[in-house]
A and B are shown apart, each in its own frame.
Chain A
Amino acid sequence: MLTAVAISLDGLGFAAWLFLASVGLTLIYGVMRILNIAHGGFYALGAYSAAWAIGLYTQTGQTIALTYLIIPVAALVVGVVAGLTIERGVMRYMYGRDEVLMVLVTYAIFLILEDVTKLIWGTDSYIAYQPAYWLGTIEIFGIPYTIYKFLTIGIALAVGLVLWWGLTRTRTGKLLLVVINDREISSALGINVTLFFTATFVIGATLGALGGALTAPEISVVPGIGAEIIVMAFAVIVIGGMGSIGGAMIGALIVGFARALSVHLYPPAELFSIYIVMALVLAIKPYGLFALSEGRKI
């Protein structure tokens, strides 16, 4: 019973982190058909900016409670600035080009972002543990869990719900779905596709930065975290079906639980668990579990 509870909570916690880190990636792919490798750079920027801002703030000796505001604000600022700069500065000249070329372009941007991060924050690690410690822990069957982890799970759920609601229940979201289905017809109908693209890219970048910012209090923020997350994020969105928000959530849950199961029951399999799951899913559903259907054009 204890192990089952631990697996459930660990799986859920890991899944929440994965979902937050990958949802922006799948959103951008869904709307823009761009495999955005630079997403890892947004994640790193979010983590660094939050850790740096929390560090500065805590030196003032003020209440830790405000750091929970610093996290989303830091993510919002770097997400909007970096997302807007890259979309307006580079990506808009690339629309309509081959998807492989887009991968190369976003990979180049990712490398630049890595160097920018190193230029701004150096190579030393940043530690911003205060928000994760301040809330304390709760014991479940005698095992302490940080309340911050449950907060992260809650935020992941909220992000998923807001995106679902925004896409399916608002006029803007419905228009976006039209753009996703056929950008040429959308444009002909008078929908400002360029604006939708810019907005989507900025939202995706901000979500990536939010994933990093929320993770910062639990980890040591070091160079290279962007490269690590992009591999995991790709695994998640491939399993879920690229471009599907619900798929990303299910993909994150599958990967999270696969990892928790292997760690608890058979640790040597941990290294391969994600890839075994991915291979199994793709063997059955080659385009992922909830792949978006492609409209056939005449």
Chain B
Amino acid sequence: MKHFLRTGFSFKSTSKKSLFFSLAALSSLGLSSGVTTAVADGHKNLKIGFVTFLSGGAAGPFGVPARNAAELMIEAINKGTVPAPYNSKGLAGASISPIFVDEASKQKVADYKKLVQKDKVDIVVGYISSGSCKAIAPVAEEAKKFTILFDCGTPQIFEKIVTSPKYVFRTGAHATMDNVAAARYLMARNIDASSIAGINQNYAWGQDSWKDFSHSMKALKPGLKVSTEQFPKIYAGQYGSEISVLLTKKPNVIHSSFWGGDMEAFVLQGSARGVFKRSKVILTTGETATNRLGAQMPDGTIIGARGPHGALAPEGPLNDWFKKAYFDRFGSLPTYPSYKMAQALLGLKTAADKAGKTDQDAIMAALRGSEFDTPSGKVTMALSNGHQAIQDTAYGMYKFDKSTGKSSLVDIQRFKAKCVNPPKGVSSTDWIASNFKGADCK
């Protein structure tokens, strides 16, 4: 130790007294930077671990916009500058200290455990991939750590993986809503859907999305034909063969839950080969690419945003503030991952403020079954014993204006939350199989 002090640091001639002052100074630096748990305005800081894609193919379209939204919201919540009813400072007065972790890790469970055990976070907010959520949800329950899944879509999380959740919440609706709404949109717009085809990624997200969509279509339009079901590998990037099959089978409607680079590649390759002219294509996550693809996204493509986010978000002061604040800071409009991150943090703030304290049991109790306003409209924690959100949603058709170079969504159709989400206590599969028993679409 003596040797270490002599050579490792400049403490070699430090007296015990000056060493004490040095440590005190270091401690005060830690306090002022907010890195460690500290006392501020009489409240604890809340350390939150944010897990989102910071590298890999999902970083650009999802992870980074989500992280941007987290940074924006954390700053606004800490300062109390979010519009009413969120204009009080912090979470029940406690400031948020974030730690960001890359979801594109091969050791997601170990990263989660590190956040909980070593970094000692109070809450974990994260996960874009359905695969990540499937892995993390049971670990979070085991670790007894308050965890909010903000984006992933597979309905399996609370229907198969964690059937009696205590610590895990999901503040965004799951993929059943996206796909039931997509089917209802086709019916509402009288689009010929006598034959359908799917091209979805070969993992939980793609498989569940196609299952919910195709079963919903069969329920709404008995006798339709499924031309082909394609499940290429995630990040395949090359879809020449699949596109040939889609062109050969000539379905009226093509459904895809492709996201990120895969979705953009499919649009580029498919539109070049006339897929979008021969079939009506519905992209359940298409919204993230609408600002980027411009004229390359064919007019008439049906676009979803995994909820009423982005161009499908309802007008209101919260949405106006969010769009402006995001654009002013990052130079682009927020897409749905940003909205879903904001949604998670506003749900958390609602619960913490309602509880009036920051211990995890109190916040979880307040979040369970709650309702809160977001830039995307009202969210209700209605399913899975109050742990799973539902919300209204919408779909629209893509239109590109060559003269202005701007895209928009037209023929927007909105659906009530209870029209496109299963009722309490009923699994998505059973609900669709029952021909949407109990759906409120009036």
Q: Is the CB of A9 within 8 A of B244?
A: yes
Q: Is the CB of A218 within 8 A of B269?
A: yes
Chain B hits for A6, CB < 8 A: 241, 244-245, 248
**Min distance, Cβ B107 to any Cβ of chain A, angstroms:** 15
Q: Is the CB of B240 within 8 A of A224?
A: no
User: Which residue of B56, B236, B262, B274 contacts A223 across the interface (Cβ within 8 Å)?
Assistant: B56
Residues 184-239 of A at the B interface (beta carbon under 8 Å): 215, 218-225, 227-228
CB of B233 within 8 Å of the partner chain: yes
Given contacts A132-B268, A225-B237, A267-B229, A123 and B273 within 8 Å (CB-CB): no
CB of A96 within 8 Å of the partner chain: no
CB of B293 within 8 Å of the partner chain: yes
Q: Is the CB of A222 within 8 A of B231?
A: no
Chain B hits for A7, CB < 8 A: 241
CB of B261 within 8 Å of the partner chain: yes
Chain B hits for A181, CB < 8 A: none
Given contacts A267-B229, A271-B233, A222 and B260 within 8 Å (CB-CB): yes
Q: Is the CB of B233 within 8 A of A270?
A: yes
Q: Is the CB of B247 within 8 A of A144?
A: yes
CB of A129 within 8 Å of the partner chain: yes
CB of B439 within 8 Å of the partner chain: no
Q: Is the CB of B60 within 8 A of A222?
A: yes
Q: Is the CB of A218 within 8 A of B59?
A: no
Please name the residue on chain B nearest to A268 by beta carbon.
Answer: B231
* Binary contact track A126-166/B, C-beta < 8 Å → 1, others 0: 01010011000100000111100100000000000000000
Number of interface residues of B (CB under 8 A): 42
Chain B hits for A294, CB < 8 A: none
CB of B230 within 8 Å of the partner chain: yes
User: Which residue of B60, B233, B244 contacts A143 across the interface (Cβ within 8 Å)?
Assistant: B244
CB of B265 within 8 Å of the partner chain: yes
Query: How far is B228's CA from A10's CA once the two chains are assembled, in angstroms?
Result: 17
Chain B hits for A123, CB < 8 A: 54-55, 59-60, 63-64
**Min distance, Cβ A284 to any Cβ of chain B, angstroms:** 25
- Consensus secondary structure, chain B interface: helix
CB of B83 within 8 Å of the partner chain: no
Q: Is the CB of B231 within 8 A of A146?
A: no
Query: How far is B249's CA from A267's CA once the two chains are assembled, in angstroms?
Result: 14
Q: Is the CB of B231 within 8 A of A223?
A: no
CB of A39 within 8 Å of the partner chain: no
* Binary contact track A2-25/B, C-beta < 8 Å → 1, others 0: 110011011101100100000000
| Size bracket, chain A contacts | 35 or more
Q: Is the CB of B247 within 8 A of A149?
A: no
Q: Is the CB of B231 within 8 A of A124?
A: no
**Min distance, Cβ B101 to any Cβ of chain A, angstroms:** 16
Please name the residue on chain A nearest to B55 by beta carbon.
Answer: A223
Please name the residue on chain A nearest to B203 by beta carbon.
Answer: A271
Chain A hits for B242, CB < 8 A: 263
Please name the residue on chain A nearest to B198 by beta carbon.
Answer: A267
Query: How far is B55's CA from A122's CA once the two chains are assembled, in angstroms?
Result: 10
Q: Is the CB of B273 within 8 A of A10?
A: no
Q: Is the CB of A125 within 8 A of B244?
A: no
Chain B hits for A219, CB < 8 A: 237-238, 261, 264-265, 268-269
Given contacts A259-B241, A263-B242, A125 and B260 within 8 Å (CB-CB): yes
Query: How far is B245's CA from A9's CA once the two chains are assembled, in angstroms?
Result: 12
Q: Is the CB of A13 within 8 A of B240?
A: yes
Given contacts A267-B229, A270-B231, A129 and B248 within 8 Å (CB-CB): no
CB of B57 within 8 Å of the partner chain: yes
Residues 270-308 of B at the A interface (beta carbon under 8 Å): 272-274, 292-293, 296
Q: Is the CB of B241 within 8 A of A264?
A: yes
Q: Is the CB of B268 within 8 A of A10?
A: no
Query: How far is B292's CA from A123's CA once the two chains are assembled, in angstroms?
Result: 14
Q: Write the residues of chain B forming the contact surface with A, with a CB cutoff of 8 angstroms.
A: 54-57, 59-61, 63-64, 104, 202, 228-233, 235-238, 240-242, 244-245, 247-248, 260-265, 268-269, 272-274, 292-293, 296
Q: Which 8 pairs from chain A and chain B are nearest by CB?
A: A220-B264, A222-B261, A263-B241, A10-B241, A224-B56, A123-B59, A220-B261, A224-B57
Beyond A125-B264, A137-B274, A219-B261, 17 additional contacts (C-beta under 8 Å) are A6-B245, A6-B248, A7-B241, A9-B244, A123-B54, A123-B60, A125-B61, A127-B293, A137-B272, A219-B268, A220-B268, A223-B57, A225-B57, A228-B235, A263-B230, A271-B202, A271-B233
30 CB-based A-B contacts, threshold 8 Å: A6-B245, A10-B240, A14-B241, A17-B238, A123-B55, A125-B261, A127-B296, A132-B272, A137-B274, A146-B273, A215-B237, A215-B238, A218-B238, A218-B269, A220-B265, A221-B261, A222-B57, A222-B59, A223-B55, A223-B60, A224-B104, A224-B261, A225-B235, A228-B57, A260-B241, A263-B241, A263-B245, A267-B231, A270-B232, A271-B202
